[in-house]
Amino acid sequence: MRILINATNIGERLSGLSVYTLSLLREIVKLDKNNEYLIILNKSAIIHMMSIEFPSNFKVKYISNIVSPDHGTKGHLLRLLYSNYLGLRYRKYLIFTTSQMEAIIFHPKQIITVQDVIPLMDKNFQKKQYHYYKYILNIAVRKALAIFTPSEFTKKEVLKHYPLNPDKIHVTPLGIQGLFYEEIEKKNTVREKYILYVGRIAPTKNVFRLLDAYNLIKNKVQEEIVVVGSVSKEYLDSIKDKGLVSEKVTIKENAKLSDILSLYKKAALFVFPTLYEGFGLPPIEAMACGCPVVVSNTTSLPEVCGDAAIYVDPTDIKSIADGIVKGLNDMKLREDMIKKGFERAKQFTWEKTAKTTIEIIKRLDK
């Protein structure tokens, strides 16, 4: 079978989405020696391809980096247009699209990965994307050969908003990178006095309430809080304007993976009280590093974290604050969460994701 993987969402700076695409690509290259692949990348992704040895059944084509996510909204729009050009140009290929944001409406043989449908939950969260999800993606998913989602929760969300046959949707859970598995074996890390959040700093991530909750308890706990993630200037200014940043609050933008790994390893507690997740990888990464985890009791997080997390109501500041205090002070609970977290993290590998992906593609070819 001839398969085109649209990997144009990998930019020089890696996001959660591009980590998915890159990690999956690395494993498919190792595992599939039978199908013929054409990988489409933009030139800004070259830095991430240097460590990958592509076998003879893989061809790589680089296009202009104007479609890179590094170029913000302009890059996203151009990438969508280019993706639909691919649909017209490569009619005989099965096209695997790793994000709903590159969905093609002109191609009969397409697999679309829908990571989440946040704009349809509340169009105030991502106003610019609402009409895309409501109209363009609606057409694309109905025409697609198959849909991949990272969780059963996201599968149910897709079915809620789009009139599809449930058998058309396949759940392919995400994985964590190899260096996190190396940390699973290192269980004696000395923890430092800080609480950690890793993820985008945006309305759906509920950072306002997280910092409000921390302010309720900051005089009762020794730990400071470190918030790591990309953030717009406007949103960062609104956090500061609300008086949520103090000497005990640190916000780190554009942190390297090695720095994030170090922060996970040394944090006293990881807190992830987001309002909506299609999967939610950071809690699993924290678990792999032996850090106890506090997460929201909603959307995909109970499915992903199982019994290895402390759950809170993300809409209730006191619930978040109580969860943080419990996670810091209940030593027996901490020990239990750390132990269960190590085991939970082992369930999520990119190799497993890639094997599931290849197997489904194989079935679609019959």
> 269-272 and 224-228: which strand pairing?
unpaired
What is d(CA 332, CA 335) in angstroms, rounded to the nearest whole number?
5
DSSP for 160-188 reads: HHS---GGGEEE----B-HHHHHHHT---
Sheet with 269-272: strands ordered across: 249-252, 224-228, 194-198, 269-272, 293-296, 310-312
pLDDT at residue 45 greater than cutoff 70 = yes
Greater model confidence, 182 or 352: 352
Q: Is pTM beyond 0.75 here? A: yes
Quick one: 7 and 132 in the same domain?
A: yes
Give me the pLDDT at residue 187, please.
Answer: 55
Residue with token string 């969905």 = 103
Quote the mean pLDDT of the chain: 89
Q: Which of 3-12, 117-126, 222-231, 338-347 has the lowest mean pLDDT?
A: 117-126
95 CB contacts (<8 Å, ≥6 apart)? 3, 4, 6, 86, 87, 104, 107, 109, 110, 111
Whichever domain contains 360, its CATH number is 3.40.50.2000
Reference 269, options 215, 330, 216, 209; nearest CA is 330
Query: In this structure, are 97 and 128 located in the same domain?
Result: yes
| pLDDT at residue 200, rounded to an integer | 86
The torsion angle over the Cα atoms of residues 98, 101, 107 and 110, rounded to 10 degrees, is 20
Both 144 and 209 in one domain: the answer is: no
**pLDDT > 90: percent of the chain:** 62
User: Which residues form the domain of 193?
Assistant: 178-345
Pairwise CA distance, residues 167 & 363, whole Å = 13
- Residue 240 confidence (pLDDT): 76
Q: Given this model, what pLDDT does residue 47 score?
A: 87
The backbone torsions φ and ψ at residue 217, rounded to the nearest 5 degrees and listed phi first, read -120, 0
Q: What are the C-alpha distances in Å from 90 to residues 7, 94, 108, 318?
A: 15, 8, 11, 54
pLDDT at position 14 is 77
Tell me: do 72 and 164 sit in the same domain. yes
Whether residues 204 and 215 fall in one domain: yes
Residue 364: the pLDDT is 85
Residues 41 and 169 in one domain: yes
Q: Cβ distance 227 to 197 under 8 Å? A: yes
**Counted domains in the chain:** 2
Residues 261 and 285 in one domain: yes
Q: Return the pLDDT at 251.
A: 87
Copy the structure tokens of residue 236: 């960062």
Q: What pLDDT score was predicted for residue 182? A: 64
Helix boundaries (H) for 267-330 = 282-288, 301-305, 317-329
> Do 276 and 314 lie in a common domain?
yes
Give the Å distances, CA to CA, from 350 to 27, 68, 280, 353: 7, 23, 15, 5
Region 130-149: mean pLDDT is 93
How far, in Å, CA of 358 to CA of 172, rounded? Answer: 11
The SS3 of residue 250 is: strand
Percent of the chain with pLDDT over 70: 95
Is the predicted pLDDT of residue 178 greater than 80, yes or no?
no
Residue 124 pLDDT greater than 90, yes or no: no
207 & 94 share domain = no
CB neighbour burial string for 154-178, b if at least 16 within 10 angstroms, e if fewer: bbebbbebbeeeeeebbebbbbbbe
As a whole number, mean pLDDT of residues 32-39 equals 94
170 with 74, same domain: the answer is: yes
| pLDDT single digits (tens) 312-324 | 999 999 999 999 9
Residues 55-99 have pLDDT tens digits of 999 999 998 888 887 777 888 888 888 899 899 999 999 999 999
- pLDDT tens-digit readout, 189-224: 556 889 999 998 888 899 999 999 999 998 889 899
Residue 112, strand partner residues: 97, 147
Q: Averaged over 336-345, what is the pLDDT?
A: 95
d(CA 281, CA 293): 12
Average pLDDT over residues 120-131: 77
107 and 216 both lie in a single domain: no
CA 181 distance to own-chain centroid: 18
Strands (E), 101-155: 110-113, 146-149
User: Is residue 353 located within the same domain as residue 326?
Assistant: no
